[in-house]
């Protein structure tokens, strides 16, 4: 997401963009913005970068996002997903900075999706709990904040290190590898570019509160994989159906999520692509690489 927001904001008139991440800049295009290495678990480093650039808004896309790794390495998850948000929001309070923070459909237990913003969270895993805690920190910091909850993001990543349901399905089937795909989890896949636009609008409108920002369609992971296979003309026989119970992953996942996105459409001028339109955008980007 960080990379997509760079592409959405770099060269935008009136915007000075400072992009940060751990280590060297892995985004292909290096022009149109400033890059600062920043480890967000380092409170002093955050303070240093904020004092250096005095931003009016921060968009926080960094997190420990591997749900099973969070379950087995809770200390790191807490440092990345909770402590870092406390460090950032403390600086936002001191410097009157608007904070845009990404969160997840996993704050819900998946018994009553699709969800609206007012529905009651009930996280099932440590990752989900950590993201809900981060939301509470933003809400209680006495700052202007917008929390954008989203759902399985897909898109093309510059350095190829991150995968997602679309790239994973496409790459596996191209290599004629069998993949186990879950049949009983339902989500609204979100095109990374759509979410980036929502983040940018949240900044430009100085939006406040919680927003549900996802694709429009609620489909199973299996349907997402099969649609991807069909779209790219790949052999679906490598897709093996599996249930959540059979997969026995370390962290529990909500079964049925999906979002009601009316608030984002109204307040953030959010107009997501359909999943098929999103696949066409992914195909074009892969072609241009
Ligand atoms: N991906 C999804 O399907 C999904 C679904 C719902 C919600 N979300 C939320 O959306 C947000 C963005 O997700 P994403 O998919 O873009 O995540 P991602 O691909 O895992 O990216 C997270 C980024 O955080 C960076 N990071 C890790 N530790 C750091 C540190 N100590 N200091 C600075 N940066 C650090 C990572 O850098 P390295 O590359 O060096 O590790 C990585 O670039 C997250 O808040 C996530 O919880 C994601």
Question: Tokens 């591997």 correspond to what residue?
Answer: 66
Pocket test for ligand 1, best of 4, 37, 65, 166 (most atoms within 8 A of CB): 65
Cα 1 to averaged position of ligand 1 atoms, centre (Å): 7
Cα of 140 from ligand 1 centre, angstroms: 23
For the segment 203-213, the average pLDDT, to the nearest whole number, is: 98
Please give the pLDDT value at position 11: 87
Chain centroid offset of residue 286 CA: 20
Could you identify the atom of ligand 1 that is nearest to the CA of residue 154? 3
pLDDT at residue 12 greater than cutoff 80: yes
Residue to substitute in 20, 22, 75, 101 for testing ligand 1 pocket (most ligand atoms within 8 angstroms of CB)? 22
Confidence of residue 162 (pLDDT cuts 50, 70, 90): confident
Length of the chain: 289
Distance 65 CA to ligand 1 centre (A): 6
Report the mean per-residue pLDDT for the chain. Answer: 97
Q: Choose which residue among 153, 189, 212, 224 to substitute to test ligand 1 binding: the one with the highest number of ligand atoms within 8 A of its C-beta.
A: 153
Kindly tell me if the per-residue pLDDT of 289 is higher than 90: no
Beta strand 219-220 with 186-187 is antiparallel
Asked whether residue 160 carries a pLDDT value surpassing 80, the answer given is: no
Residue in this structure with the two tokens 């790239």, named with its chain if needed: 167
The whole-number average pLDDT for the span 174-203 is: 98
Q: What is the pLDDT of residue 54?
A: 97
Closest C-alpha residue for ligand 1 atom 16: 1
In ligand 1, the atom with minimum distance to the C-alpha of 153 is 3
Tens of pLDDT, residue by residue over 85-103, are 999 999 999 999 999 999 9
Q: Is the pTM of this model over 0.95?
A: yes
Reported as a pLDDT band with limits 50, 70 and 90, residue 141 is very high
Expressed in angstroms and rounded, the spacing between residue 62 Cα and the centre of ligand 1 is: 4
pLDDT score, position 159: 82
What does the pLDDT read at residue 63?
Answer: 98
pLDDT for 49: 98
Residues with CB under 6 Å of ligand 1 are: 1-2, 21-22, 38-41, 61-63, 65, 80, 102, 104, 131, 150-153, 162
**Which residue lies with its CA nearest to atom 24 of ligand 1?**
62
Question: Does residue 109 have a pLDDT over 90?
Answer: yes
Atom index in ligand 1 nearest the CA of residue 60 equals 45
pLDDT confidence bin for 123, thresholds 50/70/90? very high
- For the cut 90, the answer to whether the pLDDT of residue 58 exceeds it is yes
Mean pLDDT of the 183-203 span = 98
The protein residue whose alpha carbon is closest to atom 23 in ligand 1 is: 62
Question: Cα(253)–Cα(109) distance, rounded to whole angstroms?
Answer: 8
Averaged over 28-51, what is the pLDDT?
A: 97
Share of the chain above pLDDT 90, in %: 97
Using an 8 Å Cβ cutoff, are 165 and 152 in contact? Answer: yes
Give Cβ neighbours of residue 52 (< 8 Å, ≥ 6 apart): 36
Residue 272 in contact with residue 261, Cβ under 8 Å? yes
Q: What is the mean pLDDT of residues 128-155?
A: 98
């Amino acid at each position: 997401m960080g990379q997509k927001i760079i592409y959405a904001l770099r060269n935008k008139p009136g915007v000075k963009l400072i992009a940060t991440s751990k280590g060297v800049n892995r985004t292909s295009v290096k022009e149109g913005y400033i890059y600062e290495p920043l480890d967000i678990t380092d409170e002093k480093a955050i303070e240093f970068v904020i004092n250096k650039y005095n931003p009016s808004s921060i968009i926080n896309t960094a997190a420990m996002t591997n749900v099973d790794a969070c379950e087995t390495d809770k200390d790191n998850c807490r440092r990345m997903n909770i402590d870092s948000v406390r460090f950032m929001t403390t600086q936002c309070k001191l410097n009157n900075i608007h904070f845009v923070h990404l969160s997840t459909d996993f704050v819900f237990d998946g018994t009553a999706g699709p969800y609206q913003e007012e529905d009651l969270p009930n996280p099932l895993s440590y990752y989900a709990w950590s993201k809900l805690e981060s939301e509470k920190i933003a809400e209680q910091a006495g700052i202007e904040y917008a929390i954008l909850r989203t759902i399985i993001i897909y898109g093309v990543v510059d350095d190829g290190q991150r995968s997602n349901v679309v790239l994973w399905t496409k790459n596996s089937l191209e290599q004629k590898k069998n993949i186990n795909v879950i049949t009983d989890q339902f989500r609204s896949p979100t095109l990374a570019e759509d979410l980036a636009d929502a983040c940018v609008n949240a900044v430009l409108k100085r939006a406040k509160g919680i927003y549900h920002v996802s694709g429009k369609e609620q489909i199973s992971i299996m349907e997402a994989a099969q649609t991807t296979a069909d779209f790219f003309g790949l052999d679906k026989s490598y897709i093996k159906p599996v249930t959540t119970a059979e997969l026995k992953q370390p962290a529990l996942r909500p079964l049925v999520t999906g979002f009601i996105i009316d608030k984002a459409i109204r307040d953030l001028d959010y107009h997501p692509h359909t999943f098929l339109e999103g696949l066409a955008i992914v195909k074009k980007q892969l072609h241009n690489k």
